[in-house]
Structure 1
């Protein structure tokens, strides 16, 4: 039968030699990371007098909550020196924060479970619930340990010694941009550096994450980069978010970063920076799907399907504009749902609303919110004094502005655990607690 021990019970327990004499006391447990397999115990660190020495796993006859027994009385008393890639459970994991991937939050490892499988010991579970001796300081009933599978976590965040080994197995890139942004806002400088290093491998994801960050966190993390590196991120962000990011940067850094942007993105950003950031003009997306009224429903649907560069939230409607000689004057709007339900051969001017709700670029965001509420809209076109369409403001941008800051920072509501695609090493779902 497989045996289980917990690190908190093992630490400082006597190490007994093969002759029955006490050699020293356990100071740490060494494991080797093995990708998606459970980490393998490769040795122990024992304190012998004032010296820490290495005990290879082959020399350990038994691990027990009361004592650690060696197979031989002989111990190599050379001072322990950590090797590349080795992870020390007490020094590197116990008491440190890990990322709960399912719930996308940073939690602390309060204990570690080791399980004997055949003739080897492996790390299988973490306890992330604050122990009773700590909780009692704040009152309340003592919680039971909450053992969860090691594969439920992204461990060792900020641990530089193992970063290279862990990088190819990192699952952070599978989290939503908003979840990654929340992690970054809660992370320390070292932790945030590693999270950003992980998402940097996917430039589009990196840009999405920066769009989701709160302005102060966004400015802090961008400010640590060079002008060229900031421009690379802003080039992939939505133009309205990029404009907000530039406005939050120190004055002396703005122009060099703008100069480093691609011409098309620079033009959009400069246009948006000309408006009040909290107005419809400052929040609008500049790219819209606009067609003339003599286009057919089928043509409009094909254009919508091919509009891969448009912000999805802004692609809920097709806007009717004048012919070439009339410029982009707004003449009507038709939603994608209405297009799907219409005759494919019908002209757009036959199915469109010819008097759409609209806003000026100086309209306050609160007034835009009222328009959306009154008319049940997901988007509102923004037009100039001559009714030429400038862009579109989306409901998500409005909500970000009108929801009070203290509401956005409140404790999130409980939500169901998301299941990840691959099973753990044993084939069990990641969120099933250990039976210990």
Structure 2
């Protein structure tokens, strides 16, 4: 293994051992190979930098040597798709995918594979920085490296001044909370770069976890249609909170570009005061009629392409005439109906499939009003050992639920936002 810091600024010798100049940088083409090949050298001769293709490189192990003593002294001009290991990677930030954090590159690892030198990893250890800062005669005595394989390192295209074809597919594998931590810690430009590369669903899941300030900046900075597509993938409560923090004209334009049904759900929540149960309630939950059996409900759930998440309970309503074929046992116009009870998921799973739902449901269910504060919903969930509390309107109709996650996120925003926070290098 070779390390960039060990041969930068060292003499570059020709075939007959004469000094051509000093090694200023190595050029790598990224985008297609898992381990990008070195495509050329930038050599410094006095104040002049010139390019030498990698085909003329014989060795950089111990001494940088070319296969010829004749070089073309044309000035170096960077091309699209190329990065410079010293200028664009060394001392820059990358994302350590397996470590789920941002790290600083203190050295770059290069390996010769057959006849081609390739970028294979980065050293993020403090020892690498000490080796660079200390005398070369003592650098070999500083032991310890922490190498991140280049396949696990997400390079940020905005770090380079040219267009790069960089894939961000691996970031979609991260937990949305971890990805949000990274996006919050990066610059706005780098954050926008990542969001632009994610699909709408992944971007929505991640943006629900970022700080309010970063979310507002990202939404206002992106195309209105893209912002609308992302908000459609968010929960209505999160989308409502996001829109309320935007400039009014921008928020109205985004709402106008959303699908009518999703926009209506968001506008309904915006009608409630911030911090109220109505603002943070979810409207995607499972409603079923009282006359069905446990097996009917399980069959309905299995048949759905998009089951509410989290699925904490099933809400039993007084609507005996609704068709059982509907996902919730209710037609779209009958969603706001009287609540008769709830069936906790545990009881639904362990009950005999033939049991009528009325026999396994809790009849005396505590509820809140949409105008009640989030504190009231959290207190009721704590007292009655609930993971969610139903929200009823003035006509005693079920219009939503408040989950414990949503209540805590409202009551303890900083603590909840920083749950599982990791230290960034």
TM interval, short-chain normalised: 0.7 to 0.9
Q: 2:388 matched to which residue of 1?
A: 379
Query: Structure 1 residues 368, 407: CA separation in 2 closer, same or farther (over 3 Å shift)?
Result: closer
Cα deviation for residue 135 of structure 1 reads: 12
1:400 aligns with 2:409: yes
1:61-210 superposed matches below 5 A: 61-65=58-62, 67-131=63-127, 133=130, 144-159=144-159, 164-167=164-167, 170-199=169-198, 202-210=199-207
1:218-367 superposed matches below 5 A: 218-313=215-310, 315-323=311-319, 328-367=337-376
| Contact map agreement 1:177 1:209 (CA 8 A) in 2 | yes
- Secondary structure of the corresponding residue to residue 367 of structure 1: helix
Q: What do you get for the CA RMSD once the two structures are aligned?
A: 2.7
| Contact map agreement 1:281 1:382 (CA 8 A) in 2 | yes
Instruction: Tell me how far apart the structure 2 counterparts of residues 406 and 350 of structure 1 sit (CA, whole Å).
Output: 40
- Secondary structure of the corresponding residue to residue 227 of structure 2: helix
Instruction: Tell me how far apart the structure 1 counterparts of residues 47 and 193 of structure 2 sit (CA, whole Å).
Output: 35
Q: 1:426 matched to which residue of 2?
A: none
Instruction: Tell me how far apart the structure 2 counterparts of residues 207 and 16 of structure 1 sit (CA, whole Å).
Output: 54
Query: 1:235-294 CA distances to partner (integer Å, 9 max, x unpaired)?
Result: 222111111111111123333332332221122111111112212111000122112211
- Secondary structure of the corresponding residue to residue 45 of structure 1: strand
Instruction: Tell me how far apart the structure 1 counterparts of residues 171 and 266 of structure 2 sit (CA, whole Å).
Output: 30
| Contact map agreement 2:157 2:166 (CA 8 A) in 1 | no
Cα deviation for residue 411 of structure 1 reads: 7.9
1:41 aligns with 2:50: no
* Number of aligned residue pairs: 402
Cα deviation for residue 60 of structure 1 reads: 2.1
- Secondary structure of the corresponding residue to residue 158 of structure 1: helix
Instruction: Tell me how far apart the structure 2 counterparts of residues 210 and 276 of structure 1 sit (CA, whole Å).
Output: 22
| Contact map agreement 1:294 1:347 (CA 8 A) in 2 | yes
Query: Structure 1 residues 134, 364: CA separation in 2 closer, same or farther (over 3 Å shift)?
Result: farther
Q: Which moved more, 1:127-136 or 1:245-254?
A: 127-136
| Contact map agreement 1:280 1:393 (CA 8 A) in 2 | yes
Cα deviation for residue 81 of structure 1 reads: 1.6
Q: Which moved more, 1:319-328 or 1:369-378?
A: 319-328
> If the length of structure 1 is used for normalisation, what is the TM-score?
0.85
Q: 2:26 matched to which residue of 1?
A: 29
Cα deviation for residue 369 of structure 1 reads: 1.9
Structure 2 stretches lacking a partner, 5+ long: 134-141, 322-333
Query: Structure 1 residues 56, 224: CA separation in 2 closer, same or farther (over 3 Å shift)?
Result: same
Instruction: Tell me how far apart the structure 2 counterparts of residues 289 and 219 of structure 1 sit (CA, whole Å).
Output: 32
1:212 pairs, out of 203, 209, 234, with 209
Instruction: Tell me how far apart the structure 2 counterparts of residues 178 and 163 of structure 1 sit (CA, whole Å).
Output: 29
| Contact map agreement 2:276 2:372 (CA 8 A) in 1 | yes
Query: Structure 1 residues 135, 391: CA separation in 2 closer, same or farther (over 3 Å shift)?
Result: farther
Query: 1:320-372 CA distances to partner (integer Å, 9 max, x unpaired)?
Result: 11136996111111012211211212211111111112222122222322222
Instruction: Tell me how far apart the structure 2 counterparts of residues 263 and 33 of structure 1 sit (CA, whole Å).
Output: 42
Cα deviation for residue 307 of structure 1 reads: 4.0
- Secondary structure of the corresponding residue to residue 318 of structure 1: strand
Structure 1 stretches lacking a partner, 5+ long: 137-141, 415-436
> If the length of structure 2 is used for normalisation, what is the TM-score?
0.87
Cα deviation for residue 393 of structure 1 reads: 0.9
- Secondary structure of the corresponding residue to residue 201 of structure 2: helix
- Secondary structure of the corresponding residue to residue 393 of structure 1: strand
Instruction: Tell me how far apart the structure 1 counterparts of residues 123 and 48 of structure 2 sit (CA, whole Å).
Output: 30
Instruction: Tell me how far apart the structure 2 counterparts of residues 135 and 349 of structure 1 sit (CA, whole Å).
Output: 73
Query: 1:114-138 CA distances to partner (integer Å, 9 max, x unpaired)?
Result: 12233322222201123454999xx
